[in-house]
Amino acid sequence: MRLLVAALITILPVSGAFAQMQPPIAAKRPHSFTHHGITVEDPWNWLKDPGYPKVDDADVLAYLTAENAYYTAQMAPVAALKDRLFEELKGRVKQDDASVPLPDGAFEYWWQFKPGDQYRTWMRRPKGGGAEQVVLSEPELAKGLGYFRLGAMRVSPDGKLAAYATDTDGSERFTIRIRDLATGKDIETVTRVSVGGVEWTADSRAIVWTEVNENWRRIKARLHVLGQTGEDRVLYEETEDKGFGVNTAKSQDGKWIIIATSDHVTSEVRLVPAANPTAPPILVKRRQAGVAYDVDVRGDRLFIRTNDDHVNFRVATAPLASPDQWTTLIAGSDRDYITGITAFTSYLAVQGRREGLDRIVLRRDDGSETVVPFTEAAYTASFSSGYEPDAPLLRINYASMVTPATVFDYDVKAGKLVTRKVQQVPSGYDPSQYESQRIFVTARDGAKVPVAIVYKKGFKPDGSGKLHLYAYGAYGIPSMPGFSANRLSLLDRGMAYAIAQIRGGDDLGYQWYLDGKLAKRTNTFNDFVDAAKGLVKAGWAAPGMISASGGSAGGELMGAVVNQAPEQFRAVVAHVPFVDVLNTMLDESLPLTPGEWPEWGNPITSKADFELIRSYSPYDQVKAQAYPPLMVTAGLNDPRVTYWEPAKWVAKLRDVKTDNNLLVFKTNMGAGHGGKSGRFAALEELAEEYSFILTQFGIKD
């Protein structure tokens, strides 16, 4: 007889902010496996539905439903605070927001929100003015759906059609449709198994799209000719390495469709003419383990960003006729990390970072360079490639911890920034009332970890304060010090907010990323704990008065740090946390596992990798100790971090931890990795998170 869930949801008298009741207890069922001569017990393995990605096991659903009921009951006493926070967050959202139009051919395009809408409406009008036209209405597409996401949308070169991709359950398997813009009607459905972008051929008669297989792996680039029946032609299929995934894009000049295949550290690029997509693909350079590169095209010249001879990347050029003959244009540098390039007609735009701060450099054919000027001590800045081959006005997105998101056009000829839009906060925001600092905390091995801090004036770093600490720390994804109107709800209640740029991200260069992965993965966790301790030592928070949050791989971070130093944290929020690392990396049938081995290691073939991953995997390292209050989330349809990872982690924590601190777990039963869709639905979930955090600090209004 299989025991389902014991002691489910009997409500006891309320005490304090949260209800006192018995949490769901997941049954322990004997299960073990042996690998490399090491036996691992895993009594909550049954929470993985054997029919995944379909989840219909009655026991699994009963447990998740019970946890959701417990979450609802526990959060009910703070509903008033949550509602206040939601109204605050919603009040900072400009209801009728719109983007700055971008030119493309005969039209200029933008998106807009109408008051009350959860989703964008995409618009266009003739250049120079004229009647506005709806290109695509997300609110119409989302009507009646519990979840909606627009994954891609491209207008055909002749301006008559739009190809768009939608996901309606969070599984990230997108349906591509073609819409006639004259009638506003869809004329055909291309596929229901796409992922990634959609690119048009030059004649507007076909699209190139990426196919995802049953294991959610991007395996093929296909060509769909409008009106064609039968199977779409395969332009490229990845057969060499099951850890590689295929992506498609278009060169800035619009003449080439770029088909890239890669894992996290190695890449290979092919080019097909947009005017003749069935021509034999041009291989730029054969893949070489550990060498990453990406490509743009201008005329008969390739521009390549690669780390083949410097860890921080160089920029090379090559003739289209001999694409593997690379000549250095911009040498790699210990100081400057090159993160992206776009080959506009009249210049090469280079995105990079110096000492962890974004940098945009424009390089002309004569070798002269212009650095776009930014003056704040900590900020984030990036450029948009736009739609057209050249950009005499380069679109730049800028923000800092105190400066709202700002859209500039950089006049390349005049060398001036022209402000096009500043994020409005309708309920009011005075940047002069807030301050930010960037400090460096010394980690236990001597590394200097940057931490950006923002706070309301009057906050004193005298060792008596409260602080929230955020980080990600994986895949070379940086945690940049940008603006968030949402976090004002914490700052205005007397808290400071800090972003730790820990190793595993590439904040300080590609080596910073390498120093937080594989055998050096524990540097990421140590950096976060040491940042928390350093902030306390510097007076930014009282001991034990730091809350923390992270999602996905950042959720793995949360799991690791509460195992290592639970006393450092007042409350922790882990969104869709990647916490069952060992089991996931051992299961090569899962969607992402083969492609993740270059990031975490391959415990199937390597005993050293097995032992290292087991030594930090949050689920495996849960121990009999006191843990801080925890909020954990999952998405039933999540293909990136499967729902059972947080479910198993929570079940083990409930069984092992020695404290009575609150542990709540919510699974979005109709969503995926990003939680609920829609701008206001997402704010409701954030309001829940903030109410959980604030209540743990004793802040009740």
Residue pLDDT, tens place only, 195-247 = 878 999 999 999 999 998 877 889 999 999 999 988 999 999 999 898 899 99
Pick the residue with more confidence: 431 or 376? Answer: 431
Q: What is d(CA 75, CA 254) in angstroms, rounded to the nearest whole number?
A: 52
Whether the pLDDT of residue 7 is over 80: the answer is no
The closest of 467, 470, 468, 462 to 537, measured between CA atoms, is 462
- Are 166 and 153 contacting, i.e. CB atoms less than 8 angstroms apart? no
Average pLDDT on 338-350 reads: 97
Whether the pLDDT of residue 332 is over 50: the answer is yes
The closest of 436, 523, 439 to 473, measured between CA atoms, is 523
Catalytic residue among 264, 638, 677, 691: 638
Residue pLDDT, tens place only, 238-293 = 998 988 999 999 999 999 999 999 998 999 999 999 999 999 999 999 999 999 99
pLDDT of amino acid 17: 60
The closest of 113, 687, 199, 176 to 423, measured between CA atoms, is 113
Catalytic residue among 264, 468, 575, 673: 673
pLDDT of amino acid 127: 94
The closest of 340, 289, 337, 339 to 312, measured between CA atoms, is 337
* Residue ranges in 481-617 assigned as alpha helix (H): 488-491, 510-514, 522-537, 553-564, 581-586, 593-600, 607-616
The closest of 234, 237, 324 to 287, measured between CA atoms, is 324
Q: CB-hemisphere CA count at 13 Å for 398?
A: 23
Average pLDDT on 500-519 reads: 97
C-alpha distances out from residue 667 to 61, 143, 603, Å: 10, 23, 29
Q: What is d(CA 578, CA 591) in angstroms, rounded to the nearest whole number?
A: 14
Based on the residue annotation, tell me whether 552 is a catalytic residue of this protein.
yes
Strands 161-167 and 149-155: antiparallel
The closest of 649, 456, 627 to 548, measured between CA atoms, is 627
Band of residue 77 on the pLDDT scale cut at 50, 70, 90: very high
Encoded tokens for 603 = 């415990």
Whether the pLDDT of residue 4 is over 90: the answer is no
pLDDT of amino acid 606: 98
Whether the pLDDT of residue 673 is over 90: the answer is no
Share of the chain above pLDDT 70, in %: 97
pLDDT of amino acid 216: 83
Band of residue 61 on the pLDDT scale cut at 50, 70, 90: very high
Q: CB-hemisphere CA count at 13 Å for 578?
A: 24
Assigned CATH class of 5-90+431-696: alpha beta
Residue pLDDT, tens place only, 348-383 = 999 999 988 999 999 999 999 999 999 888 899 999
- Are 173 and 216 contacting, i.e. CB atoms less than 8 angstroms apart? yes
pLDDT of amino acid 610: 98
Whole-model pTM: value is 0.93
pLDDT of amino acid 13: 30
Residue pLDDT, tens place only, 515-544 = 999 999 999 999 999 999 999 999 999 999
- In which order are the strands placed within the sheet that holds 206-212? 149-155, 161-167, 174-180, 185-200, 206-212, 218-225, 233-237
Based on the residue annotation, tell me whether 673 is a catalytic residue of this protein.
yes
pLDDT of amino acid 14: 31
Catalytic residue among 552, 617, 677, 691: 552
Question: Percentage helix, strand, coil, to 5, in the chain?
Answer: 20, 35, 45
Average pLDDT on 616-637 reads: 97
Helix (H) or strand (E) holding 687: helix 679-696
For 592-651, give the DSSP string.
SHHHHHHHH--TTT-HHHHHHHHHH-TTTT--SS----EEEEEETT-SSS-THHHHHHHH
Average pLDDT on 611-628 reads: 98
Residue 38 φ/ψ, nearest 5 degrees: -110, 125
